[in-house]
């Protein structure tokens, strides 16, 4: 099914300044919105993505678009005390909430939160054992550059893990899915966030993002190898993993 013309995303919609403002605006209700809009499945998706990270001693992971630090905190649960995470995001509003969650969980000595843009990461080459991004890469204007940067800062043999919404391939589930994300999701998002129009961008960003096979080629073009992916929950989301 072709993307509806009314859902075509204007290039200016991905303007970094607009994305920053949007996420800072919805930050206070972001976690609640995630749970409601995904029907609680987003937690499982994150756990699956984190399970793809390499099991190494003294692990150092980079969590890109860390937001409110759900992925970083999941890593803390799954890895021994010698593992550490640097979480980066370019939304100050999201980072403030993330820092508070990390402090309350008692992981401030293991999770370092910084302001940074994925297309220009402030780290040396070969710094981390893996980098991971969850539901953030589709919001990056030049997501190819973002994947390249995530690979650059990872050590040889390290992993790049990407969890993202994808275009539904199942023809039976495609129609109800599109109805949900174009009609129901924006309405609920507006209702819970209290911000008119805050979730109008989300449906188009999900529909227009490359399908799993196409995105696999994007990761390969960034110089990563042995790229694999798993479709989750009828193909609503997919986890891609590439090796440097």
pLDDT value at residue 223: 97
Taking each helix axis from N to C terminus, what angle separates 30-37 and 42-51, rounded to the nearest 10 degrees? Answer: 100
Q: Residue 22: is its pLDDT beyond 70?
A: no
Task: Give the residue among 188, 173, 179, 235 at the shortest CA–CA distance from 26.
Answer: 188
The lowest-confidence range among 41-45, 86-90, 232-236 is 232-236
Average pLDDT, the chain: 84
pLDDT value at residue 5: 27
Rounded average pLDDT over 83-89: 97
User: What is the C-alpha to C-alpha distance for residues 22 and 55, in angstroms, rounded to an integer?
Assistant: 35
The lowest-confidence range among 55-59, 107-111, 190-194 is 190-194
Buried/exposed 4-28: b ≥16 CB within 10 Å, e otherwise: eeeeeeeeebbeeeebbebbbbbbe
- Domain spans of the chain? 16-167+209-243
Buried/exposed 134-159: b ≥16 CB within 10 Å, e otherwise: bbbbbbbeebeebbbbbbbbbbeebb
User: What is the C-alpha to C-alpha distance for residues 215 and 138, in angstroms, rounded to an integer?
Assistant: 11
pLDDT value at residue 235: 86
Q: Are 149 and 122 in contact (CB under 8 A)?
A: no
pLDDT value at residue 218: 97
- Give the single-character DSSP code of 27: G
User: What is the C-alpha to C-alpha distance for residues 63 and 117, in angstroms, rounded to an integer?
Assistant: 12
For a pLDDT cut of 90, what percent of the chain falls above it? 57
pLDDT value at residue 168: 65
For residue range 194-233, what is the model confidence (pLDDT) as tens digits? 666 656 667 777 777 888 999 999 999 999 999 999 999 8
For residue range 166-202, what is the model confidence (pLDDT) as tens digits? 876 667 777 787 787 777 777 776 776 666 665 666 7
Q: Residue 236: is its pLDDT beyond 80?
A: yes
Side-chain half-sphere CA neighbours of 58 within 13 A: 1
pLDDT value at residue 188: 74
Q: Residue 59: is its pLDDT beyond 50?
A: yes
User: What is the C-alpha to C-alpha distance for residues 137 and 162, in angstroms, rounded to an integer?
Assistant: 8
Q: What is the pTM of this model?
A: 0.84
61 vs 14, more confident = 61
16-167+209-243: CATH topology: Rossmann fold (3.40.50)
pLDDT value at residue 191: 72
Question: pLDDT class for 8, splitting at 50, 70, 90?
Answer: very low
pLDDT value at residue 57: 94
Q: Residue 96: is its pLDDT beyond 80?
A: yes
């Amino acid at each position: 099914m072709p993307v509806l013309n009314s859902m075509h995303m204007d290039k200016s919609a991905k303007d970094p300044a607009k994305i920053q403002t949007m996420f800072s605006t919805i930050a206070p209700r972001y976690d609640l919105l995630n749970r409601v809009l995904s029907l609680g499945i987003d937690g499982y998706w994150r756990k699956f993505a984190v399970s793809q990270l390499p099991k190494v001693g003294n692990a150092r992971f980079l969590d890109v678009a860390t937001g409110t630090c759900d992925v970083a905190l999941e890593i803390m649960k799954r890895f021994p005390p010698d593992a550490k995470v640097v979480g980066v995001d370019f939304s100050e509003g999201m980072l403030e909430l993330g820092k508070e969650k990390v402090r309350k969980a008692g992981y401030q000595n293991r999770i370092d939160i910084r302001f940074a843009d994925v297309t220009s990461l402030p780290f040396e080459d070969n710094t981390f054992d893996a980098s991971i991004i969850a539901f953030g890469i589709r919001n990056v204007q030049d997501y190819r550059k973002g994947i390249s940067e995530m690979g650059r800062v990872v050590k040889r043999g390290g992993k790049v893990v990407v969890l993202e919404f994808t275009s539904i391939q199942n023809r039976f589930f495609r129609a109800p899915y599109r109805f949900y994300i174009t009609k129901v999701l924006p309405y609920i998002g507006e209702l819970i966030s209290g911000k008119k129009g805050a979730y109008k961008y989300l449906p188009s960003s999900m529909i227009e993002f490359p399908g799993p096979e196409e995105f696999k080629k994007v990761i390969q073009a960034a110089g990563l190898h042995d790229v694999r992916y798993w479709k989750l929950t009828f193909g609503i989301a997919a986890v891609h993993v590439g090796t440097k």
